[in-house]
Amino acid sequence: MRYFVRKIGFFVLTLWAVVTLNFLIPRLQPGDPAELMVQNLAGKNAQLNRAQVEAMRDLLGAPSGSLLSQYWNYLVQLIHGNLGVSYTYFPYTVAEVIGKAFWWTVILVGTVQVLSFAIGILLGAFAAWRRNSRFDTSVTVISTFVGTLQPFWIALLLIYGLGYGLGWFPTAGGYQASTPGFNGAFVYDAMSHAFLPALTLMIVTPIGWILGMRNTMIMNLGEDYIRLARAKGLPDRMIALRYAARNALLPSVAGFALALGGILGGTILVETVFDYPGLGRLMGEAVGIKDYPLLQGLMLLTAVATLLANLIADLLYGILDPRARRAAA
Amino acid sequence: MALLDVRDLSIRYEPKQRAAVDAVSHLSFSIDDGEFVGLIGESGSGKTTVGMAVLRLLERPGRISGGSITFDGTDIAHLSQDELRKYRWREISTVFQSSMNSLNPVTRVEAQFADVIQCHTALRGREVTERIRTLFDMVLIDPKFMTAFPHELSGGMRQRINLALALAIGPRFVVLDEPTTGLDVVVQHSILENVRRLQAELGFAVLFISHDLGTVLDLSDRTMVMYAGKIVEEQATRQLLREPLHPYTKGLLGSYGDPRAETVRITYVPGRPPDLAHRPGGCAFAARCPERIDGCTELEPAETEIGDGLVACHVAAIQRGAADNTTGAEVGPAIRTFAGPQFVKSAAESAEAVRGRPLVTVDNVSKTYVRRQGLRAVRTEAVTGASFVLRRGGVTALVGQSGSGKSTIARMITGVDAPTSGQITFHGSDGDQVVARMRGRRLRSYRGSVQMVFQDPYSALNPTKTLGATLARPLINFQHLHGTQLRDRVIDLLETVALSPGGRFVNRYPHELSGGQRQRVVIARALAVEPELIVADEPISSLDVSIRAEVLELFDKLVHERSVGILYITHDLLSARMLCDEVVVLNEGKVVEQGPSLDVIRSPQDDYTRLLLDAIPNPFAATRD
């Protein structure tokens, strides 16, 4: 129990630190975004109009008052979910923009991650159990080869082959001819659009799990408790699952929770290639056109997600590995 | 008919990269129902391989390349894993080497009993729990630990639980592979007593594999001695103790001294076992054998029956009239002892050493560790009010179980930790100094005067560095030597520890050496800076018995020739007596007894000392009188 309380305590502390840093860092940067925007609007060599700059500040809701009161305001706004107004999607707020993109990414990448993890662990465990068999060799060789390929390149190949060549799947966007909402036509539409990005990711993501699981499991198979389990005459399935895989799973589980945290920002290239309306593309855009509030909102979201994932990893680890509970307590 | 009958068993390791090795060749033995048989051998002799083969747990690249293993009338050597399942645990079970690792770390102990019980019997639910409870009672462990995880148990408890696990379904045959190696003598003793009692009650047969002569001879009805993949001698244990036949057996027995004697003599077997990939012609032991005759290096000795025993030795066979002396070689009369180099320690010598000048005075030293746990501070008293003196040219043993504070004292003497109260004074060549107050250059020079020798020579040497580089490092650091001077000194050091000619060892890597040779390199490294005090932490416990004496001998030579002081840390009073002049017995951080070694061993005053003494296996007790 102590273990879990400690871990949650740590989480709250780091969360506070992240939120505070997110507040401080932009304020430490030189330059005035309002000036920058007016300059952009007016042209490179034009004289700045102070009134315009002031107006722009007001428009952006630029901060005033002492740092402490700014900080307080920031926290209050944050609790209300107010992250400011996006420059590019004006007049939409950052929260609204992110909210729209959020589910597209979470559903796509979340499904992919869960599936890849499951597939990767199973393949890896099986390859290790049948070490040096034809199955093991082909899995290892193929994984190592595919692992060297860039996802966006695979994406381009798929677009060319399955999209343009065969015309089976749409190659860009999240949906086309249907009205968003929970109806059959839209779900079908969205799924067919998600297919190619999902396939791209499914080709790449399981590889890490396969190789990782295979290696830890092979190491575990050399342990004394596996030999003892064999000597006990237990059925192979039981030895493979309850003794070997159960122990080999531990490092992967921690990695998996972290991977879930990375969902939100980790697929910029793939989403951009498919012009998929998710967080990755949004982040790519935000960086490209210096949409600071949006970028800041996305950063905060990613950081919080990573933290949450870490917390889940720790808690899960505590449940799965009794040794962790005591060592940290 | 024997319960287990092994005939002509050969086991071959065929690694992909290197040459194949016959780890075991043409080995035969049998074990009757309810019999307790010991198998002694040193590292690399193939004893564990034999155990694994009997359990049919050999893994690639090892495989049974010939012969049969007949269990209860069925040859199990070539059964498939599925066919073997009905023998596993129900008939044949096992306890592995120092089982720190043989329980699944992520499941409760109870579940690891339950799976095997449910797999092989019809017991279910409460009956299973009842059975586990009975098993825990058998090994004297409170059944409340059933729901514990392995890491929550001490090493001794884990090993008891492994024993209980082995007996879970009442097997007829149990393979014990080094079941107590790595445990404290006291714990080891109680576990083996437990084994002995249960074996008598339940009547299962045992194959007890160990490198530890004392425990094997103490427990077994019959003992087999293995060398280089073959059984060289097999006799009823009592007979083996009374009249060992093979010179190697004599060598092993000779490495055991009687700690109570006025003068302890132990012999050691020089050299190292042959590389099995290039097995020499004739007898594999011939190169190390003091009784060797010409025929030994030519013809491999066959197993010959002598009395009720078996021996594979030309000399023994000729001496006992079991073979003709065809070559007409000179064969001496049969002897009981190993006619090789020996190491002698007399009480008179020790009495001399006790008069030596003090080197380190430990005065009323205590050490309390404070560990923070949130806002609370947990205090652990590691050492309480310890006082003793280390002398120049003398060896003092610090004896105690793990957790008794031995290592803490060593850390304070070497200046790594400071005492909480009391003080440690070093009477060095440049005056008296309090260890804990040394700083900067003084501390640096002190570190040069005090050197450590570690327990495990396998991990104390950097595997990627040659011996030359390893030894040069302290010489460069402390004495600023370089060039030919450095090289000469390195070779000199190697010769000091009897690795000669030194020039041949300079460019070798640790993995090319035997355990004893490695430990000598570690000692040479400690000597490089010409220390005044050497702290040796269990320096021989990880070495094979036949070469232990060789390291003891080296220590002894250092004491006499260089008049260094040695603090010898151990849990084993027997080895303490062989090397040390004085003994300090430590229990729970307190010095409970100290004095000249012989006095402490002959007439221990403290209960704890007696407990330690009683725990030493004493196979000779029965034959001595």
What's the average model confidence in pLDDT over B286-297? 88
Measured in degrees and rounded to the nearest 5, phi and psi for residue B149 equal -90, 150
Contact flag A243-B93 (C-beta cutoff 8 Å): no
For the record, the structure tokens of B37 come out as 């048989």
Which of chain B's residues have a Cβ under 8 Å away from the Cβ of A235? 85, 119
Average pLDDT rounded to a whole number, residues A278-306 = 83
Check: CB of residue A138 under 8 Å from CB of residue A249: no
Residue B402 confidence (pLDDT) above 60 = yes
Q: Inter-chain contact B101–A223, Cβ cutoff 8 Å? A: yes
User: B348-464+529-543+556-617 adopts what CATH topology?
Assistant: Rossmann fold (3.40.50)
Q: What pLDDT sits at residue A43?
A: 72
* Residue-by-residue DSSP string for B460-528: SS-TTS-HHHHHHHHHHHHH---HHHHHHHHHHHHHHTT--SHHHHTT--GGGS-HHHHHHHHHHHHHT
Please indicate whether, in this complex, the C-beta atoms of B115 and A230 are within 8 angstroms of each other: no
Q: Which residues of A touch B57 (CB under 8 A)?
A: 227, 230-231
CB atoms within 10 A of CB B149: 19
Yes or no: say if B268 and B251 are a contact pair by the CB < 8 Å rule. Answer: yes
**Contact: A228, B87; criterion CB under 8 Å:** no
Structure tokens at B165: 């696990």
The rounded distance, in Å, linking the Cα atoms of B20 and B322 is 35
- The order of strands in the sheet holding B565-570 is B450-453, B533-537, B565-570, B395-399, B582-587, B590-596
Structure confidence at residue B175 (pLDDT): 95
Window 208-227 of A: residues touching B by CB (8 A cutoff) are 223-225, 227
Q: Which one of A223, A230, A234 has the shortest CB-CB distance to B57?
A: A230
Q: How many CB atoms lie within 10 A of CB B339?
A: 15
**Chain B (551-580) residues lying within 8 Å, Cβ to Cβ, of chain A:** none
Q: What is the mean pLDDT of residues B33-46?
A: 89
- Kindly report the average pLDDT of chain B as a whole number: 87
Spell out which residues of chain B touch residue A324, defining contact as CB-CB under 8 Å: none
Q: Do B102 and A225 touch (CB under 8 A)?
A: yes
User: What is the ipTM, given to two decimal places?
Assistant: 0.80
Q: How do residues A162-204 score in pLDDT, each as one tens digit?
A: 888 887 888 777 777 666 666 777 778 888 888 888 888 899 8
B105 to A320: CB separation less than 8 angstroms, yes or no: no
Looking at residue A329, its pLDDT comes to: 44
Interatomic CA distance for residues A31 and B368, integer angstroms: 57
Partner residue facing A233 (CB), from B89, B96, B104: B89
CATH number assigned to the domain covering B4-220: 3.40.50.300
B14, B81, B116, best to mutate vs chain A, most A CBs in 10 Å? B116
CA atoms within 13 A on the CB side of B523: 30
pLDDT winner (highest mean) among A166-170, B419-423, B557-561:
B419-423
Query: Could you give the strand order of the β-sheet that contains B431-434, starting from the edge strand earlier in sequence?
Result: B376-391, B358-373, B421-428, B431-434
pLDDT at B347: 79
Chain A's closest residue to B101, CA to CA, is: A224
> What confidence score (pLDDT) does residue A266 get?
60
Q: Which are the contacts of B100, defined by CB distance < 8 A and separation ≥ 6?
A: B155, B158, B182
Structure confidence at residue A69 (pLDDT): 83
Taking a C-beta distance cutoff of 8 angstroms, is the pair B9, B64 a contact?
A: yes
Query: Of A86-95, A128-137, B236-245, which gets the smallest average pLDDT?
Result: A86-95
Give kind and range of the element (H or E) at residue A108: helix A94-129
Strand residues in B196-242 grouped as ranges (E):
205-210, 222-227, 230-236
Q: Which CATH architecture has domain A94-328?
A: Orthogonal Bundle (1.10)
State yes or no: pLDDT of A317 exceeds 90.
no
Q: Give the residue ranges of DSSP H helices in B268-346.
A: 314-319
Contact residues on chain B for A223, CB-CB shorter than 8 A: 101
Q: Which of residues 103-142 of A touch B (CB under 8 A)?
A: none
Average pLDDT over residues A259-263: 76
Give the phi and the psi of residue B29 in degrees, each rounded to 5: -165, 170
What stretches of B283-362 show up as alpha helix (H) in DSSP? 314-319, 347-354
Measured in residues, chain B has a length of 625
Interface contact flag, B106 A326, Cβ < 8 Å: no
Please calculate the CA angle B53-B54-B57 and round it to the nearest 5 degrees.
Answer: 50
A27 interface with B at CB cutoff 8 Å: no
Q: Is the pLDDT of residue B625 over 50?
A: no
Considering only CB atoms, which chain B residues are within 8 Å of A228? 94, 96, 102-103
Residue from A220, A228, A243, A326 to probe the interface with B (highest B Cβ count within 10 Å): A228
B118 CB near a chain A CB, below 8 Å? no
Q: Which of A229, A236, A247 sits opposite B106 (nearest CB)?
A: A247
Contact check, Cβ <8 Å, A231/B94: yes
For chain A, say whether B106 makes contact (Cβ under 8 Å). yes
Distance from CA of B93 to the nearest CA of A (A): 7
User: Which pLDDT value is given to residue A215?
Assistant: 92
The pTM score is 0.83
- Judge whether B79 is closer than 8 Å to chain A, CB to CB: no
Residues of B in contact with A229 (CB under 8 A): 104
CA distance B559 to B353: 10
* Coil vs helix vs strand at B71: strand
From A251's Cα to the closest Cα of chain B, the distance in A is 13
**Band of residue A265 on the pLDDT scale cut at 50, 70, 90:** low
Q: Which of B16, B102, B119 to mutate to test the interface with A (most CBs of A within 10 A)?
A: B102
B237 reaches A (C-beta below 8 A): no
**Each residue of A131-158: pLDDT tens digit?**
889 999 999 999 999 988 888 888 888 8
The domains of chain A are located at 2-79, 94-328
| Res A161: pLDDT | 86
Read off the tokens for B358: 């003090």
pLDDT digits (tens, 9 = 90+) for B121-142: 998 989 999 999 999 999 989 9
Q: Where in chain B is the domain with CATH 3.40.50.300?
A: 4-220, 348-464+529-543+556-617
Say how many C-beta atoms besides its own lie within 10 A of residue B483's C-beta. Answer: 7
Provide the chain A residues 238-257 that lie in CB contact (below 8 A) with chain B: 238, 242-243, 246-247, 250
Report the alpha-carbon angle B595-B596-B597, nearest 5.
110
Nearest CA-CA distance, residue B75 and chain A, Å: 17
> Nearest-CA distance from B53 to chain A in Å?
11
DSSP class per residue in A160-206: IIIIIIT--S--SSS--SS-SSSSHHHHHHHHHHHHHHHHHHHHHTH
In total, the C-beta contacts within 8 angstroms joining chain A to chain B are 77
Q: What is the pLDDT of residue A92?
A: 82
Is the Cβ pair A321, B87 closer than 8 Å? no
**pLDDT tens column, B566-621:** 999 988 887 888 889 999 999 988 999 999 888 888 889 999 999 888 888 877 76
A238/B104 Cβ within 8 A: no
Task: State the best of A130, A132, A225, A325 to mutate against chain B, taking most chain B CBs within 10 Å.
Answer: A225
Q: What whole-number percentage of chain A has pLDDT above 70?
A: 92
Whether residue B433 contacts residue B620, with contact meaning beta carbons closer than 8 Å, is answered with no
Are the beta carbons of B119 and A227 separated by less than 8 Å? no
Percent of chain B with pLDDT over 70: 97
